[in-house]
């Protein structure tokens, strides 16, 4: 079973435009509207693949109600707590040059009380499972507590009697603190920019990722995947290092590819698959998402097909 946590769901609008000029009127023909948020996208991906997924999170205001209605159509179970404020809007503009410009609202505040209710819910769900769940903590949170995810990981370790796998797809200070906590996440997925930011250095190539992936900051993290967009990824699993090479594809919309990657990884870990197969699922899901207009969406057919075209070069 897979539990995903989304503390900042969104109403996503994706505008495909012929041109995108700053300071001018830019028209768009077919806007795509969808429910988003990293944990929701990852959960959708894992559920499409056949995983048993429950998405947990918060919803606020009119947007929250809209999202709640839309979630009824999703292939996963949901448990979303109503909170005050307004769930955010996130706008992505994809222009003909394939530039991706995003405008993302902050979202409703996650108070200490809300944060506690959410982690209590995750613990309740986990305790009631026969098998150890995979728990994916995904995305930003509008909170003044920079240690929120570090605390979540600690609380899960303290209160769950089993050796559960915690995956995180977070960035910035939350990730930095999560890496420095007493209990570490099982898996992290920074993209190449987040990886560079973590290390406070400039990293623009896979070669540089490979040079830095054994940095002491990640020492006790069993599984790290640095996703590199169209260049695939670099992954370390325990003491094994992989250059994950993907074929070139004609992308339509890569928004949410990282979320889909996390969904694919969560699915494969939940199925108890090998590290090689897990990496293939992660990459194939990121790519499958990039082949769709929809965000955080994959098809089983394309994942199955793409999975066979991924080269794992062990370093």
Binding to ligand ADP (CB under 6 A) within 184-243 occurs at: 191, 227-230, 232-233
| Cβ nearer to ligand ADP, comparing 156 with 188 | 188
Neighbour count for residue 217 (Cβ, 10 Å) = 14
| Cβ nearer to ligand ADP, comparing 210 with 249 | 249
| Contact call for residue 286 and ligand ADP (CB under 6 A) | yes
The nearest distance, CB 281 to ligand ADP, in angstroms, is: 11
| Contact call for residue 257 and ligand ADP (CB under 6 A) | yes
CA dist 151 to 31, 102, 163, 236, 280, Å? Answer: 39, 30, 17, 25, 31
| 17 CB-near residues (< 8 Å, 6+ apart) | 26, 27, 28, 93, 94, 95, 96
Q: Are 141 and 110 in contact (CB under 8 A)?
A: yes
Q: Which residues of 75-91 are buried (b: 16+ CB within 10 A; e: fewer)?
A: ebbbebeebebbbbebb
| Contact call for residue 114 and ligand ADP (CB under 6 A) | no
| Contact call for residue 246 and ligand ADP (CB under 6 A) | yes
The nearest distance, CB 209 to ligand ADP, in angstroms, is: 11
Site string for ligand ADP, 144-183 (x = CB under 6 A): ----------------------------------------
CA dist 86 to 36, 38, 56, Å? Answer: 14, 18, 17
| Contact call for residue 264 and ligand ADP (CB under 6 A) | no
| Contact call for residue 258 and ligand ADP (CB under 6 A) | yes
Structure tokens at 142: 């509008």
| Contact call for residue 283 and ligand ADP (CB under 6 A) | yes
| 35 CB-near residues (< 8 Å, 6+ apart) | 9, 10, 11, 12, 67, 70, 71, 74
The nearest distance, CB 230 to ligand ADP, in angstroms, is: 3
Which stretch in 81-89, 149-157, 203-211, 248-256 sits in contact with ligand ADP by CB under 6 A? 248-256
Compute the residue count for the chain: 315
Residues that bind ligand ADP (CB under 6 A): 191, 227-230, 232-233, 246, 249, 251, 254, 257-258, 261, 283, 286-287, 290
């Amino acid at each position: 079973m897979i539990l995903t946590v989304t503390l900042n769901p969104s109403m996503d609008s994706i505008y495909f435009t012929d041109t995108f000029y700053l300071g001018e009127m830019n028209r768009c023909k077919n806007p795509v509207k969808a429910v988003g948020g990293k944990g929701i996208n990852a959960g959708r991906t894992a559920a499409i693949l056949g995983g048993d997924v429950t998405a947990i999170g918060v919803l606020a205001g009119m947007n929250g109600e809209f999202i709640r209605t839309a979630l009824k159509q999703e292939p996963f179970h949901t448990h979303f707590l109503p909170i005050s404020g307004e769930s955010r809007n996130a706008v992505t503009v994809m222009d003909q040059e394939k530039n991706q410009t995003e405008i993302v609202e902050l979202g409703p505040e996650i108070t200490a009380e809300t944060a506690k209710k959410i982690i209590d819910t995750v613990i309740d769900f986990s305790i009631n499972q026969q098998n150890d769940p995979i728990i994916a903590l995904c995305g930003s949170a509008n909170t003044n507590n920079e240690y929120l995810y570090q605390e979540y990981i600690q609380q899960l370790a303290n209160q769950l009697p089993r050796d559960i796998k915690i995956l995180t797809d977070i960035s910035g200070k939350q990730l930095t603190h999560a890496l420095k906590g007493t209990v570490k996440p099982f898996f992290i997925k920074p993209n190449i920019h987040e990886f560079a930011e973590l290390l406070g250095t400039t990293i623009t190539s896979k070669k540089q990722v490979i040079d830095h992936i054994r940095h002491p900051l990640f020492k006790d993290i069993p599984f790290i995947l640095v996703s590199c967009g169209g260049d695939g990824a670099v992954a370390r699993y325990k003491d094994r290092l992989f250059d994950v090479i993907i074929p070139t594809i004609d992308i339509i919309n890569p928004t949410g590819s990282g979320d889909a990657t996390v969904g694919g990884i969560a699915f494969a870990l939940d199925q108890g698959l090998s590290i090689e197969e897990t990496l293939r699922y992660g990459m194939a899901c990121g790519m499958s998402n990039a082949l769709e207009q929809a965000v955080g969406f994959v098809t089983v057919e394309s994942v199955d097909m793409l999975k066979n075209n991924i080269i794992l070069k062990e370093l």
